[in-house]
């Protein structure tokens, strides 16, 4: 049995240690508990331990799990961290507080229409395909500045940028490159770092780490 409460405590401790090593305060780093494939009874354990920020990567799965929990916990914040199809924009706008995966102009337009209809405008991050991997979502690093500008002009508050570095090799140079994109665009949030590399990400400036398996155990 995965001990979610103990894992959560351990991840929080590791975040605090990595922040301290980097001369940063632990509160500067938000733990996004990635709850894809995790069933509600196990989410409840994390909620009971005070976890309030969660990341899901599928709109439909999130719709099945979160509305009732959100009603019970008004301070809960849900972040979409998976690729978003334009035909799901309406559902995403209704459910998520932050959409981290804005990666193309067509999606910005669809989100704007959906947000106007819903009368609700989530905040967004622009996802950058920092390793230029063909199989990965995200804007090309050379296109990021322009997409950030377009997203802002369309009326969204862009909080920051997000990336998933290549699985192989040292993620640090990729984290630094993402930090550079944030800096030159005046963006405060850097969503980077997962179970395998969140301490490195914190040393390189992450403000949001997205941690799943280190909390909830390995996914099937
Ligand atoms: C699944 C996922 C994570 C969490 O991965 P772990 O290795 O389980 O921590 C983080 N970010 C994104 C975008 C994911 O899809």
Beta strands in the chain (DSSP E): 30-34, 53-56, 77-80, 98-102, 123-127, 158-162, 189-191, 208-211
Q: Please name which of 13, 8, 92, 96 lies closest in space to residue 44, comparing C-alpha atoms.
A: 8
Residues 73-113 pLDDT 10s: 999 999 999 999 999 999 999 999 999 999 999 999 999 99
Closest CA to 162 of 135, 205, 127, 130: 127
Return the residue whose CA atom lies nearest to atom 6 of ligand 1. Answer: 212
End-to-end CA distance of the chain: 14
Q: How far is the CA of 105 from the centre of ligand 1 (A)?
A: 24
List C-alpha distances in Å: 31 to 16, 77, 108, 153, 163: 11, 11, 26, 29, 15
Give the pTM: 0.97
> What are the pLDDT digits (tens) for 28-58?
999 999 999 999 999 999 999 999 999 999 9
Atom of ligand 1 nearest to the CA of 32: 10
Under CATH, what is the fold of the domain 4-216? Answer: TIM Barrel (3.20.20)
Residues framing ligand 1 (Cβ under 6 A): 34, 36, 57, 81-82, 164, 194-196, 210-214
Partners of residue 126 on adjacent β-strands: 102, 161
In this structure, the residue with its CA closest to atom 10 of ligand 1 is 210
């Amino acid at each position: 049995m995965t001990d979610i409460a103990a894992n959560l405590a351990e991840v929080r401790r590791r975040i605090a240690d990595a922040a301290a090593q980097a001369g940063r305060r632990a509160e500067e780093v938000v733990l996004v508990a990635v709850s894809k494939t995790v069933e509600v009874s196990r989410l409840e354990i994390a909620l009971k331990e005070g976890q309030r920020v969660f990341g899901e990567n599928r709109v439909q799965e999130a719709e099945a799990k979160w509305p009732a929990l959100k009603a019970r916990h008004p301070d809960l914040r849900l972040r979409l961290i998976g690729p978003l199809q334009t035909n799901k924009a309406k559902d995403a706008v209704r459910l998520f507080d932050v959409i981290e995966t804005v990666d193309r102009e067509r999606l910005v337009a669809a989100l704007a229409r959906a947000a106007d209809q819903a009368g609700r405008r989530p905040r967004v991050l622009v996802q950058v395909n920092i390793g230029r991997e063909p199989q990965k979502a995200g804007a090309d690093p050379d296109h990021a500045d322009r997409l950030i500008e377009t997203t802002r002009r369309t009326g969204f508050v862009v909080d920051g940028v997000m990336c998933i570095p290549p699985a192989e090799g040292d993620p640090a140079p990729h984290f630094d490159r993402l930090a550079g994109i944030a800096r030159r665009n005046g963006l405060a949030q850097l969503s980077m770092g997962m179970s395998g590399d969140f301490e490195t990400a914190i040393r390189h400036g992450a403000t949001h780490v997205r941690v799943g398996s280190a909390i909830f155990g390995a996914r099937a």
